[in-house]
Amino acid sequence: MSTLTDERTTELIEQFQQHFGGAPTYVSRGAGRVNLIGEHTDYNDGFVLPVALKRDVRFVLRPRADRQVRLFSVEFGESGAFDLDNLRYIPEQLWINYIQGMAQSLEQEGIRLTGIDAVFSGNVPRASGLSSSAALEIASAHAFLAAAGQTGVLSGPRIAQLAQRAENHFVGVNCGIMDQFISELGRENHALLIDCRSLEYTLVPMPEDAALVIGNTRASRSLASSAYNERRAECEQGVALLQPVLPGIRALRDVTSAQLEAHRALLPENVYLRCRHVVSENERVLQTVAALQAGDLVRVGQLMNASHDSLRDDYLVSSPALDAMVGAMRSVEGCYGARLTGAGFGGCAVALVKPGYEQAMADAIFEHYPKATNIWPEVYMTKAADGAGVEQLLLA
């Protein structure tokens, strides 16, 4: 049974026929993601535990005989085009740069691409912390590889690395590896433990009685990028100040809570608090994996709650909107735990809930959150889904 030829793909095929004539030959998918736990650990060589979402970015496409790429974005309602032999950043059409960057990254890997005609669409909310950009990169990677007859040539982890390179070097966003990794490698009913230093990964089964509810605050994330750079610098400062007494450390991933407490006096208070979040968060990720493997969702919820409190109090990346969202989630009887997910300051929170309580949580969010913020939220219910995929379209 095909997983990608559903109603959404059928609508994309109709759009393709309107814009390009004839039929597309492939459909590709890159998944959005939500991080269960492990926030701001990735750039400290630490551990993260995301799941892929059922929400995704999809391309329907047809290879061309030349090196021209012609695109239509359903959400933006606009066309774009570029030449694979003349890739250049286009500031007035930001979305196309993620696709150009992916093409450049694949060609730098030695894969000769062919042009494509493609229509793409995503139902991952943009600017919400659910990685719509990584989903776009991964979906376009599989579109280009399929068109060039190169499906299966690259490993999943390598595709993720090339997508990260595209975003870092072509788009100019200094993201970590987590988003592309889970978009590519996610599996249904599993979380993915990623070691951001070695890039080793382990699929962790999600218990049957675990459902996820995501609350989108729809609040501005204008502070996120400047604060991200500040926090990253504070973490690096912490490592530099601790290295004389802990000479083996390369990143906060190498520091235990006991070591941090023993040498607290070496650190300015703000640096100590940032380090305390990262060190304790890494420990919480591994404890969460153990709890999931034991089926102890109460413990997972406690760890998620502790993660949010640490992000709020030590890392200072929460916001009144996120705290209101998490508070509404935690007020529901069937909630094991809830926390902000993503960089912070806005975007989304995620809750682990008992199946059957999802609607009660949505109702609580719609009741409490707008009163606290004067913002109408969005709520998504999901379970862990498959990551990337590509299929040939067998159209009558």
Give the CA-trace dihedral at 155, 158, 164, 165, to 10 degrees: -130
211-382: CATH, from 1.10.150.120, 2.40.50.100, 3.30.70.890, 1.10.275.10: 3.30.70.890
User: Worst-scoring range by mean pLDDT, 174-178, 285-289, 295-299, 350-354?
Assistant: 174-178
Picking from 111, 70, 100, the residue whose alpha carbon sits closest to that of residue 165 is: 100
Instruction: For residues 357 and 351, give the distance between their C-alpha atoms in angstroms, rounded to a whole number.
Output: 11
pLDDT of residue 132: 81
Instruction: For residues 260 and 280, give the distance between their C-alpha atoms in angstroms, rounded to a whole number.
Output: 10
Read off the pLDDT of residues 91-149 as tens digits, 9 standing for 90 and up. 999 999 999 999 999 999 999 999 999 999 988 766 666 668 899 999 999 999 999 99
Picking from 312, 237, 238, 244, the residue whose alpha carbon sits closest to that of residue 279 is: 238
Instruction: For residues 228 and 349, give the distance between their C-alpha atoms in angstroms, rounded to a whole number.
Output: 18
- Write the DSSP symbol of residue 343: S
Q: Where are the domains of the chain?
A: 7-205+385-392, 211-382
- Name the pTM for this structure: 0.91
Instruction: For residues 219 and 320, give the distance between their C-alpha atoms in angstroms, rounded to a whole number.
Output: 10
Picking from 155, 153, 181, the residue whose alpha carbon sits closest to that of residue 167 is: 181
Q: Is 309 a catalytic residue?
A: no
CATH class of 7-205+385-392: alpha beta
CB 145 within 8 Å of CB 111: yes
pLDDT of residue 19: 95
List 42, 56, 117, 179, catalytic entry: 179
